[in-house]
Amino acid sequence: MTDTLLNLASPDKLFIGGDWTAGTGAEQIAIISPASEEVVGRVAKATTADMDRAVAAARHAFDHGPWPRLSGAERAVYLRRIAAEMARRADDFARAWSLQVGMPYAQSAQVAPHMGGYFTYYAGLAEQGFEEVRQPLMGGHAIVVREPVGVVVAVVPWNAPLATLALKVAPALAAGCTVIAKPSPETPLEALILAECVAAAGVPEGVFSVLTADRDVSDHLIRQRAVDKVSFTGSTAAGLHIASVVSGRGGRITTELGGKSAAIVLEDADIATVVAGIMPNLVGLCGQQCAAFSRILVPRARKEDVAAALAAAMAHVAVGDPFAEATQMGPLVTGRQQERVLGYIERGKAEGARVITGGGRPAHLTKGWFVEPTLFAEATNSMTIAREEIFGPVGTIIAYDSEAEAIAIANDSDYGLSGGVFTPDADRAYALARRIRTGNFGHNGRVIDYTIPYGGFKLSGVGREGGVEGLHGFTEVKAIFMAQLPSHLSA
């Protein structure tokens, strides 16, 4: 059990305000391997009473503790310590991702050592300070300050649990907020490992908590008036519910939700570049990516060549045990998700799209929630597989007859999270990018970088994470008018 739960000292306890404490209930959350369908560990299951304790600790620490009143440079010291602890636990983080989600370990082991970089980056921004002097029209001075928004609840999904958690916790702590992390019940381990890193870094009491809980009690947490902001990444339906609840009581909200992103292949695109740029979106994390290029828009004259190249690449993807060295794609996260993806595939067939590779469960895998990399052709943008987020290793090729039509198809979506264009012409790529209503857009591939703002238009969410914008999302802006500047700003 110790090896399975990745050197966690107290997997049966909750981390509330800096202390490992028993929950008020006796139930636990079972962690099920998506590759074997077996229970591989258990963690504590928080109750509403435990949530109330965490909120009270965070509220007291924000209102009366030192954390919000430290300078940005002082908080940066702690963030760098957290990053150092995360580097020490990199293999635990990597194995947690592979164990719970099915991410191939060969890939998770490459990514995990860089996760502390989120905290180092925001430490650097915190060191720059939160004050700016401006000159009002009527004379004197105005000091525009950014102050921490308060108690933050960070609700994260199961597909990339550590990255989405770090993208919230690092800037929130840098800003001076106190934070309650609520991981998905499918993937609680990363948050618990992070809690041990925060404790080892000596972060003051009450500043950080982790509540491992089922969704049925989590609604209680977001409804607390003592919570100033909720930062949520997950499904559009859940995000809209959370936004209505939190905004309805005057709280702050950031949401990063679903996507149905279009990759626009222009007639001058190099096919090898297209395959290299699209494949990681379709099979990485078994396609469970909100920014996946799930709609592939291709000139009608080139659709057969592009389809053949992508189908060949998908057919050669090694699907299997996440801990096997040769594996390139693991399983979907749950049996429910497998059923959902297979259901979308059947819906695509019924509506007239043609499967040119994949379409079912790999024949050689009798256990685990696996689905073959699947590619549809002869599809239209009105089909369900082109309208709804599948969240699996499924791509849909849609033909177009002009660049204007491609732009119209790309924008004809309820979502606007990501997208891309494939062409060697940088001027043409930039001009096209400016016409797509989406928060992120790539040229000959997709890039997600925590130093650059990330988020969506339309139903893909509200606000931005990453970059300085991600830090500002955890602050309130105050303008202080002064006849004379205080001494620390007048030197």
Of 392, 387, 305, 304, residue with least CA distance to 343: 392
Same domain, 184 and 40: yes
Same domain, 234 and 274: no
* Tally of domains in the chain: 2
Same domain, 244 and 346: no
Q: Is 177 a catalytic residue?
A: no
The stretch 99-106 carries a mean pLDDT of 97
pLDDT at 4: 52
The three-point CA angle 121-124-128 to 5° equals 145
Looking at residue 266, the DSSP 8-state letter turns out to be -
Same domain, 402 and 466: no
Whether 290 and 163 have beta carbons less than 8 Å apart is answered as no
pLDDT tens, position by position, 204-231: 999 999 999 998 888 999 999 999 999 9
Q: How many residues are present in the chain?
A: 491
Same domain, 215 and 96: yes
- Which residue in the list 85, 196, 256, 465 is annotated as catalytic? 256
pLDDT tens, position by position, 387-413: 999 999 999 999 999 999 999 999 999
Looking at residue 71, the DSSP 8-state letter turns out to be -
Torsion angles phi and psi, residue 463, rounded to 5? 90, 180
pLDDT tens, position by position, 20-48: 999 999 999 999 999 999 999 999 999 99
Q: What is the pTM of this model?
A: 0.97
What angle, 0 to 180 degrees and rounded to 10, lies between the N-to-C axes of helices 271-283 and 303-315? 50
Whether 261 and 295 have beta carbons less than 8 Å apart is answered as yes
H, E, C per residue of 386-453? HHCCCCCCEEEEEEECCHHHHHHHHHCCCEECCEEEECCCHHHHHHHHCCCCCCCCEECCCCCCCCCC
- Which residue in the list 196, 197, 290, 372 is annotated as catalytic? 290
pLDDT at 5: 84
pLDDT at 215: 86
- Asked, for residue 300, whether it belongs to a domain, the answer is yes
| pLDDT above 70: residue 307 | yes
Torsion angles phi and psi, residue 490, rounded to 5? -95, -10
pLDDT tens, position by position, 415-472: 999 999 999 999 999 999 999 999 999 999 999 999 999 999 999 999 999 999 999 9
Q: Rounded to whole angstroms, how far apart are CA atoms 345 and 336?
A: 14
Same domain, 139 and 196: yes
Same domain, 244 and 298: no
The parent domain of residue 361 ranges over 262-443
Whether 118 and 166 have beta carbons less than 8 Å apart is answered as yes
Q: What is the average pLDDT score of the chain?
A: 97
Q: Is 267 a catalytic residue?
A: no
Looking at residue 287, the DSSP 8-state letter turns out to be G
Pairing of strands 151-155, 229-233: parallel
The stretch 134-143 carries a mean pLDDT of 96
- Asked, for residue 330, whether it belongs to a domain, the answer is yes
| pLDDT above 80: residue 297 | yes
pLDDT at 491: 72
pLDDT at 217: 87
Residue 426, domain CATH:
3.40.309.10
pLDDT at 60: 98
Same domain, 190 and 131: yes
Same domain, 117 and 227: yes
pLDDT tens, position by position, 45-62: 999 999 999 999 999 999
Whether 176 and 123 have beta carbons less than 8 Å apart is answered as no
| pLDDT above 70: residue 361 | yes
pLDDT tens, position by position, 151-191: 999 999 999 999 999 999 999 999 999 999 999 999 999 99
Query: Per DSSP, which regions of 23-80 are E strands?
Result: 28-32, 39-44
The three-point CA angle 215-217-220 to 5° equals 120
Same domain, 277 and 356: yes
| pLDDT above 60: residue 150 | yes
The stretch 329-336 carries a mean pLDDT of 98
Same domain, 433 and 467: no
